[in-house]
Amino acid sequence: MDVIQIIGIGLVAVIISIILKENRPEFAVFISIVVGVIIIVGLIPNVKNIIDYIQNLSSKININSNFVNILLKITGIAILTEFAVSVCNDANEKAIGSKIDLGGKILIISMSLPIIKALLDVILKILP
């Protein structure tokens, strides 16, 4: 999926959403969710290429594959959390969105702990 397709899908969705908001405002949120899912699914091949490239690069430069996998999972959590928060904001449910955002941040921090520990171990080895 290229940028023109993404923009086209987004603009069509905006027009449909504006029309629906006049008569059935509750369906506007569904349009937002469906369009977001369509765009994300359409980008899966691009994401797969990025993941393959990063894993290939990390194997060439001898980076621990566990750390790379953790970083990829953290990135996925951040992207999905941002999508969910945006949907909540579209539905005027900012309080729920902020709870999702907080949950995502806590998950990211907890998943980062092995990387932080390894970094601190390296720092402690360097210090006298």
Q: Report the pLDDT value the prediction gives residue 8, as an integer from 0 to 100.
A: 94
Q: How far is CA 56 from CA 21, 43, 64, 127, in A?
A: 47, 20, 12, 32
pTM of the model: 0.81
Q: Report the pLDDT value the prediction gives residue 25, as an integer from 0 to 100.
A: 80
Q: Report the pLDDT value the prediction gives residue 21, as an integer from 0 to 100.
A: 83
Q: What pLDDT digit, counting tens, does each position of 89-107 carry?
A: 988 899 999 999 999 999 9
For the residues 58-82, what does the mean pLDDT come to?
91
From the centroid of its chain, how far is CA 65? 21
Q: What is the largest CA-CA distance in the chain?
A: 71
Q: What pLDDT digit, counting tens, does each position of 14-49 carry?
A: 999 888 888 888 788 888 889 999 999 999 999 999
Instruction: Report how far residue 41's alpha carbon sits from residue 59's, in angstroms, rounded to the nearest whole number.
Output: 27
